Structure 1
Amino acid sequence: MSQNDSGATTTNARILVIDDEAHLRELLEITLIKMGLDVDTAESLEGARRFLSKHSYSLVLTDMRLPDGSGLEMVEEVNAQYRATPIAVITAFGSADNAVVALKAGAFDYVSKPVALDQLRKLVRSALQMQHVKPTEEVAIVSATPSSPSFLIGQSSEIQHVRAQISRLARSMAPVIITGESGSGKELAAREIHRNSPRADKPFIAVNCGAIPEALMEAEFFGYRKGAFTGAVDDRDGFFQAANGGTLMLDEVADLPLAMQVKLLRAIQERRVRKVGATIEEAVDVRILSATHQNLEACVNEGKFRQDLYYRLNVIELVLPPLRQRLNDVSELANSILLKLGVPGYPVSLTESALSALQSYDFPGNVRELENILERAAAFANDGSIEVIDLGLRGSTRASVADKFTSVSVEQIQQMESTDTVGLNKPASVLLPELPCSLPAFLEHIEREVIRAALLKTRNNRTQAAELLGVSFRQLRYSIQKLKIHDVEAD
């Protein structure tokens, strides 16, 4: 086995090209032969079916318009009868909708007319690499080792369904949108798709779209030339160039401003980007995975997200279940997380009652919350044994703790102020809770009530409330989000 100048392995890999234009068939055949491949060509669906009945192919490449039918028919036939054979389509220039339809039907990838030969070669190499990747059913998607606690750990039917979907999605180059609640593991799922794909040895770049200032977005995504703007002292690649040949994950894609959505749509459709300050575009080969906890369809209806970009990204949807729907996996997840948190020679473990409490909890923050709970509990645990009280669970546990002590509530402060007996700045007594209790939950309860009291006094003016509490506006905003405090209304 050797390699030729085009970088393809000279094996007996065979490609089937289906197109009714003789000159295009000839161009594709010459290009593929130069890559060291065997090539068969057909000008119709009927001719292609005869070849498929006689030979096995590493790739089928079909035009979308054929004299006796549609390339979409061939996509469906190959996926139904020759599941191990990837099929790609050739679409007319500007027919992005056809490409999306083909990808939804199961096409591996697509190229647009006029066919760019460098793009064609990349597509073929990706297809050939697929022949050397073991099916994901034969290997563990993730290793449940102490060094890599994973959302994908677990044996519940829900997580097994996710793993099965990933095994199929990894073989395609189609865009995937990963949806699920915050903390459910969307980025990890994207990494698993990449790791099990032919692009596994190429870069995986994850970008949080909500964390980039709008003024810098174009430069961050597409790069810039030296002197393009003040501060551009050198040429710099963007996220697309950094992910070239691999996978680009757009996390929280719903947060993209509309102006950037237009530019992103063009980059995805044309597979070319122009750096800020450049005059020419450059080709990029990137698979797009996107993720959001928002309802993108609702964002489209509200005019916050472009419909054409939505259809471009939402070719295939992978839905991640919240942890509360697979509580049977909590034990395995917890053990893996604790192994990672433990110090060598000083293991940390859950008591049966603590594990039972976790399995009865609804986890509004999902796996990320489980990690935070266990990290905090491990710090409070005596002799490496985590008890229920160490968990400091919210919800029902928090309510039971609140019943054990008396604090100044918003309603009490409102009543006190109406009688002019006490103000927020005047001392108020807080009774200690009955022991045993959860200290984190107790302090959280106190913090929540004090913040709500300050918001009530300032009529929900957060800037003034921060001044009353002696904290910065940013600190107050963080606490409000952490404690899930809503605007306070006077009765």
Structure 2
Amino acid sequence: MPQTLALIVDDEPDILELLEITLSRMGIASKPAHDLSEAKLLLKTHSFDICLTDLQLPDGNGLELVTHVQTHYPSTPTAVITAFGSMEVAIKALKLGAFDFVSKPVDLKSLKNLVSSAIKINDTVEPVDRRSRDQLLGDSVMMANVRAKIAKLARSQAPIYISGESGTGKELVAKLIHEKGPRANQAFVPINCGAIPHELMESEFFGHKKGSFTGAIADKKGLFQLAHGGTLFLDEIADLPLHMQVKLLRAIQEKSIRPIGSDTETVIDTRILCATHKNLSELVEKGSFRQDLYYRINVIELPLPALRERKEDIQQLATHILQKLNTEHGNTTISLSENALKALTKYPFPGNVRELENILERAFTLCENGLIHQADLQLPENPHNIPNSINTPASSPNASDESSDAPLEDYLGTLEKEAIVNALEKTRWNKTAAAKDLGITFRALRYRLKKLGLDT
């Protein structure tokens, strides 16, 4: 098996020697280049597994080399060594296709983590591609483009901002980026930022030491530490309060954290992926989301299409969902009728794929004789919460009232629960009479009671 080979580009002999020794101790051979021209010549005559380049070179800069490698040797990951605090340049390098960056003075532990991740890129096995194709369904051009972007973004360590409406599959996409990249064998840690109480956020993100506050009875690792070596997915990042946005920005920039009660910084090696259904750029303009954090997490944006924008995928998705339901219920053979499929393709799906799953799960339970008809779908005639465009924030002027801010299924579930409870109270909890009063079958009522937690 050939030895791993690295190209190191720097005009400072001391830096070249430091990098050469560090790589040698990792079992990696290296070829030094003192300028851009020499680096390009070496790239022609050798096959490199990684390239490390300084930003400032006598005859150009590292960004030119990043572009050159991306164009002519796209399978070679390139990392840029930047001056301390040159975050704008580091972000530009990532946008151009750099795998990652490391700041001077070079922290050797961070450098080793970076190199270890980079040389694993080309070890990604083909079955992952097939698995992503099975999970991220859809033969539309839009979904083909999304899958292609996932494959490309997985080769980078750049922070990715996944945008899209609720229910479009943002967490699934984040997980696929993780699984197709060099961190696939490490932890994927998803967290919904809106689900953590504000007073516990710092402890949840960065951990704490025993005795650091009342109730801290033992040391606790934070999410960054749990995701060390892997990927941290911050869902609904727009819900982070401003004080946590500051701390998150510092953790991402410095690649280190300080647990509550600790006197020392802890180096972290974590890739950050973020998502939200809100429009972050509008929140930045309003001052509720920090501009510097926005630019740091939005190095590359991956927008996901709404289901109504790719209606040609509905049949494939519906078939897949029903196959799963049939398997889960003892290999039944319930299928979708032509009129039901036609109704689904006309429906705008404000809740996207998640709503399609909910509709089919309900219809699967309510249908008779193994066939789902249009009536079994119970599609709303006037669906709420359909954004005018992708990423319309919940706080936009288009939101007419508080109920339209809630996800569709939650809003409709509330209305459904109220109607059922009213019918049950009216009939003194006689379920047969309540079903008749509601105009549904007893079986349908029983299903709804179970779903809404009222089957006591």
Q: TM-score, normalised by structure 2?
A: 0.83
Structure 1 CA distance, aligned partners of 2:203 and 2:29? Answer: 43
- Residue 394 (str. 1) matches residue 380 (str. 2): yes
Q: Show the counterpart of 1:489.
A: none
Task: Tell me, yes or no, if the aligned pair for 1:103 and 1:109 is still in contact at 8 Å.
Answer: yes
AA at the equivalent of 1:140: R
Change in CA separation of 1:108 and 1:62 when aligned onto 2, cut-off 3 Å: same
Q: Which residue of 1 aligns with 2:200?
A: 216
- Relative distance call for 1:328 and 1:225 in structure 2 (3 A) is same
Task: After TM superposition, list the pairs within 5 Å mapping 1:189-208 onto structure 2.
Answer: 189-208=173-192
Aligned to 1:92: 83
Once the two structures are TM-superposed, the CA of residue 94 in structure 1 deviates from its matched residue by 1.1
Q: Confirm or deny that 1:160 pairs with 2:150.
A: no
Runs of 4+ in 1 over 4 A off after TM superposition: 441-448
Question: CA 1:355–1:226 in structure 2 vs 1: closer, same or farther (change >3 Å)?
Answer: same
> After superposition, where does 1:28-43 map in structure 2 within 5 Å?
28-43=19-34
1:227-247 per-residue CA deviation (whole Å, 9 max, x = no partner) reads 111111110101000000000
Structure 1 match to 2:311: 327
**Superposed displacement of residue 103, structure 1:** 0.2
Amino acid at match of 2:373: E
CA distance 1:53–1:397, change in 2 (3 Å): closer
1:4 maps to what in 2?
A: none
Three-state SS of the structure 2 residue aligned to 1:142 is: helix
Letter in 2 for 1:370: L
1:349 counterpart residue number: 335
> Residues 225-264 of structure 1 correspond to what in structure 2 (within 5 A)?
225-264=209-248
| 1:372 matched to 2:358 | yes
Residues 66 and 96 in structure 2, CA contact (< 8 A), matched pair in contact too: yes
Separation of aligned partners in 1, 2:83 and 2:178: 28
* Alignment match, 1:112: 103
Do 2:189 and 2:231's aligned partners in 1 also have CA atoms closer than 8 Å? yes
Unaligned runs of at least 5 residues, structure 1: 2-10, 145-149, 399-440, 452-491
CA distance in 1, matches of 2:333, 2:178: 33
2-structure distance, mates of 1:292, 1:442 = 23
* Letter matched to residue 111 of structure 1: V
User: Could you say what secondary structure the match of 2:208 adopts?
Assistant: coil
Q: Give the 5 Å matches for 1:49-88.
A: 49-88=40-79
CA shift, 1:336, in A, is 1.2
**Which residue of the partner structure matches residue 140 of structure 1?**
130
Task: State the alpha-carbon separation in 1 of the partners of residues 383 and 216 from structure 2.
Answer: 54
Q: 1:385 to 1:30 in 2, by over 3 A?
A: same
**Using a 3 Å threshold, how does the CA distance of structure 1 residues 231 and 447 change in structure 2: closer, same or farther?**
closer
Answering whether residue 171 of structure 2 is matched by residue 187 of structure 1, we say: yes
Distance 2:28 2:414 in 1: 69
Residue of structure 2 in register with 1:265 after alignment: 249
Deviations 1:68-122 (A, max 9, x none): 1111000000001111111110011111111101000100011111111111111
Asked whether the 8 Å contact 2:100–2:156 carries over to 1, the reply is yes
Shift in Å, 1:141: 4.4
Cα offset, 1:446, TM superposition: 11
Asked if the contact 2:129/2:180 (under 8 Å) is kept, the reply is: no
Q: Is the 8 Å Cα contact of residues 141 and 163 (structure 1) preserved in structure 2?
A: no
Output the amino acid matched with 2:344.
L
Going from structure 1 to structure 2, the CA distance change for 1:383 and 1:395 (only over 3 Å counts) comes to same
Q: Distance in 2 between matches of 1:60 and 1:196?
A: 21
Distance change in 2, residues 1:26/1:446 (3 Å) = closer
Q: Secondary structure, in 3 states, of the residue corresponding to 2:190?
A: strand
Listed one character per residue, the Cα deviations across residues 374-410 of structure 1 (whole Å, up to 9, x for unaligned) are: 1111110112211100101113699xxxxxxxxxxxx
Deviations 1:418-442 (A, max 9, x none): xxxxxxxxxxxxxxxxxxxxxxx99
1:467 match: none
Q: Does 1:24 align with 2:15?
A: yes
Secondary structure, aligned partner of 1:310: helix
Paired residues in the alignment total: 392
Between 1:113-122 and 1:314-323, the stretch displaced more is 113-122
Q: Deviations over 1:300-331 (max 9, x none)?
A: 11111111111100000000000001111111
CA RMSD of aligned residues (A): 2.1
Cα separation, 1, equivalents of 2:89 and 2:361 = 49
Q: Work out the CA distance in 2 between the residues paired with 1:360 and 1:325.
A: 11
What is the match of residue 399 of structure 2? none
Q: Counterpart in 2 of 1:291?
A: 275
Quick one: which amino acid aligns to residue 7 of structure 2? Answer: L
CA contact (8 A) 2:231 2:271 kept: yes
Give the match's secondary structure for 1:140.
helix
**Cα deviation, residue 139, structure 1:** 3.1
Query: Aligned to 1:173, which of 157, 162, 179?
Result: 157
Larger Rg: 1
Structure 1 pair 348–80 and aligned structure 2 pair: CA distance change class (3 A): same
Q: Which runs of 5+ in 2 are unaligned?
A: 385-411, 423-456
For 2:413 and 2:27, the matched residues in 1 are separated by: 70
Residue 382 of structure 1, aligned match among 350, 368, 386 = 368
Q: How far is 1:345 from its partner?
A: 3.5
Q: 1:143: Cα distance to partner? A: 5.5
Q: Return the TM-score normalized by structure 1.
A: 0.77
Contact 1:135 / 1:167 at 8 angstroms: preserved in 2? no
Opposite residue 44 of structure 1, the aligned amino acid is D
